[in-house]
A and B are shown apart, each in its own frame.
Chain A
């Protein structure tokens, strides 16, 4: 009170020292003055309150608010943090429904599923809660809505007048020995996006003498005419084995090889070719095996020659036809199924046991640490490499549930790494996936298989981030 009075007197050029202390005391005790001074302090505070209301609003308006980015078609929630601005109330966001989102004023949250990719300026209508008029102001905040990556992919048909043009997708269902086979092959999104061709190919056929064959190839992305390389490789290897002399000889050797054998499964990989044991039977087996491998080798060698002749005839480089190749040649004997296989490149052949408690990868895969280790059937050097013999395998299965051949477009997405190709749990999950436990609930129905090839085509359109390569999957069931 005293200070108030002194300040007031000084403001009016009256020196408080010149007022008798008695008088000053009376003034400080004057009820009317006390009243008036209280009311002045009060008014001042009211002014300051108004100042603060403006100041709070100004600070909020100029603050940098960074909302998390949203994605089209995906659930979005963002809560504004108003702790630094305790007096600010966001009443509404003017244009929020134009992008398909909602605003919950109580929770100060933006939520919902934005529909379109866009960068939007949101108009936040806010007021200061100390302002009895609740006069509103607008703050703009930018919200980025990313596109759904699925919407960014084009699907441009490949040019049908292109040299070696082929269909963008193909499927097949047919008999295979006493079983059936379903195959589908589709162009990857990355090819579809640019209107490029499918580089994968497959070929399956029931041959003479009860043999059947299925071949799958993945043309190299870097090769100019990979689409043609994969076609020739798969179709030619089938024709090379459609030869009675070869098949009769194989019949004979397989009989010898598996007769009196109690081994459920003999494979070149598990035998040591340098074994000089006394067992002549064992030696004899190795000799027979060599003869079988030799027959397979000759056919693969002929395929290479055929590809190289074709390249010459077409005046292109054999590298332009670079392609991987896997095939399996199978016949049912009285002892079970004899499964002969070959692989170059990174596509697997897998056999699933009847009771689904065992899975076998038949071929070795050519994979490098950074994916650069792929080999092609078109490379002459694979034939001189000591690892050539391990590309072939001879197996016997009393029975099996399914046999799978696939390109990396399938297994990169579904198995991720090569070592999962022999992991039973991953295979079980893969089977569940084929049975409809997937995002789209697309099921490949092996029991009611009237439209199984269409089922498989649909299933193969699955979405997998970063995996948009051509996809080919063959299933013997």
Chain B
């Protein structure tokens, strides 16, 4: 069975503490609840969560929806986006099954990067590492006023912006991520085609502005 790997890179730096981080936790829970109702997603989609603050951690390895269990996350520290991309590159290398003559490998991964600030480390070297291994679609999300979308725009051509990092906006973002995963799992299963750009994903809600 070909899996659809989904990686969520979530900013857990200090500025996310309080309402935003709570909204992210709720968002992930709602997302899992909703995806579990979708027969294609529950069979196809596998989700991993990487958080980044002063360091990057893969808090959930690539896991099927049925066994997925959210762990607690806290917001503190700075914004090591570069470390997160390095870690993602490493995980893509080890977790994604490649196609061989004996087996069909995974579909190309779907990657969402959400940040509310500006990277504080050498994001470029992390990005170069990621570029060399990633074949999937990366969607960047700049959440709130302080988020700098110029870095995200250099990372991917698919960037959305949330004007507010309040719980309502973050929840809308996760609803859109949920719909995107649903659409992708249906698409790969029915037509054998992967999504390659924002135009293949469901239209984002009004809270999300496409900036690239």
Which residues of A does B touch, CB under 8 Å?
Answer: 66, 68-69, 71, 119, 144, 146-147, 149, 152-153, 189-191, 193, 220-222, 369-372, 374, 416-417, 419, 465-469
Chain A contacts for B103, CB-based, 8 A: 416-417
Chain B contacts for A374, CB-based, 8 A: 192
Most buried by A among B69, B103, B104, B190: B190
Residue of A nearest to B1 (CB): A466
Known contacts A221-B192, A370-B108, A372-B193; is A149 also within 8 Å of B42 by CB? yes
Most buried by B among A68, A69, A71, A220: A69
Contact, CB under 8 Å: B69 / A66: yes
Q: Which of B189-212 contact A (CB under 8 A)?
A: 189-194
Residue B44 lies at the interface, judged by CB distance under 8 Å to chain A: yes
Which residues of B does A touch, CB under 8 Å?
Answer: 1-2, 33, 36-40, 42-44, 65-69, 99, 101-104, 107-108, 186, 189-194
Contact, CB under 8 Å: B2 / A193: no
Known contacts A68-B67, A416-B104, A417-B104; is A465 also within 8 Å of B190 by CB? no
**What total count of A-B pairs have CB within 8 Å?**
69
CB distance from B65 to the nearest CB of A (A): 8
Known contacts A69-B67, A146-B42; is A468 also within 8 Å of B189 by CB? yes
Most buried by A among B99, B107, B192: B192
Chain A contacts for B69, CB-based, 8 A: 66, 69, 144
Residue of A nearest to B185 (CB): A466
Q: How far is the CA of A374 from the CA of B193 in the complex (A)?
A: 11
Contact, CB under 8 Å: A69 / B189: no
CB distance from A13 to the nearest CB of B (A): 51
Q: How far is the CA of A69 from the CA of B67 in the complex (A)?
A: 6
Q: How far is the CA of A189 from the CA of B36 in the complex (A)?
A: 17
Known contacts A71-B66, A371-B192; is A417 also within 8 Å of B39 by CB? no
Q: How far is the CA of A417 from the CA of B105 in the complex (A)?
A: 10
Q: Is the interface of A mostly helix, strand, loop or mixed?
A: loop
CB distance from B150 to the nearest CB of A (A): 32
Chain A contacts for B186, CB-based, 8 A: 190
Contact, CB under 8 Å: B102 / A221: no
Q: How far is the CA of A193 from the CA of B182 in the complex (A)?
A: 14
Chain A contacts for B66, CB-based, 8 A: 69, 71, 146
Chain B contacts for A220, CB-based, 8 A: 191
Q: List 8 A-B contacts (CB under 8 A).
A: A147-B42, A149-B42, A152-B42, A221-B191, A369-B99, A370-B192, A370-B194, A466-B2
Contact, CB under 8 Å: A466 / B102: no
Known contacts A68-B67, A469-B190; is A370 also within 8 Å of B99 by CB? yes
Residue of B nearest to A69 (CB): B67
Contact, CB under 8 Å: A466 / B193: no
Residue of B nearest to A66 (CB): B69
Chain A contacts for B192, CB-based, 8 A: 221, 370-372, 374
Q: How far is the CA of A417 from the CA of B2 in the complex (A)?
A: 12
Across the A-B interface, the 8 shortest Cβ-Cβ residue pairs: A371-B192, A152-B39, A466-B1, A221-B191, A146-B66, A221-B190, A153-B39, A465-B1
Residue of A nearest to B99 (CB): A369
Chain B contacts for A191, CB-based, 8 A: 190
Q: How far is the CA of A69 from the CA of B38 in the complex (A)?
A: 17
CB distance from A154 to the nearest CB of B (A): 9
Task: Give 5 A-B pairs besides A66-B69, A416-B104, A466-B43 with Cβ atoms closer than 8 angstroms.
Answer: A119-B33, A146-B66, A190-B40, A190-B189, A468-B189
Chain A contacts for B43, CB-based, 8 A: 149, 465-466
Q: How far is the CA of A466 from the CA of B44 in the complex (A)?
A: 6
CB distance from B100 to the nearest CB of A (A): 8
Chain B contacts for A149, CB-based, 8 A: 39, 42-43
Known contacts A69-B69, A370-B108, A417-B101; is A222 also within 8 Å of B193 by CB? yes
Q: How far is the CA of A467 from the CA of B191 in the complex (A)?
A: 12
Q: How far is the CA of A220 from the CA of B192 in the complex (A)?
A: 10
Chain B contacts for A66, CB-based, 8 A: 69
Chain B contacts for A465, CB-based, 8 A: 1, 43
Contact, CB under 8 Å: B67 / A466: no
Chain B contacts for A153, CB-based, 8 A: 39
Q: How far is the CA of A23 from the CA of B2 in the complex (A)?
A: 89
CB distance from A220 to the nearest CB of B (A): 8
Chain A contacts for B2, CB-based, 8 A: 466
Q: How far is the CA of A283 from the CA of B36 in the complex (A)?
A: 64
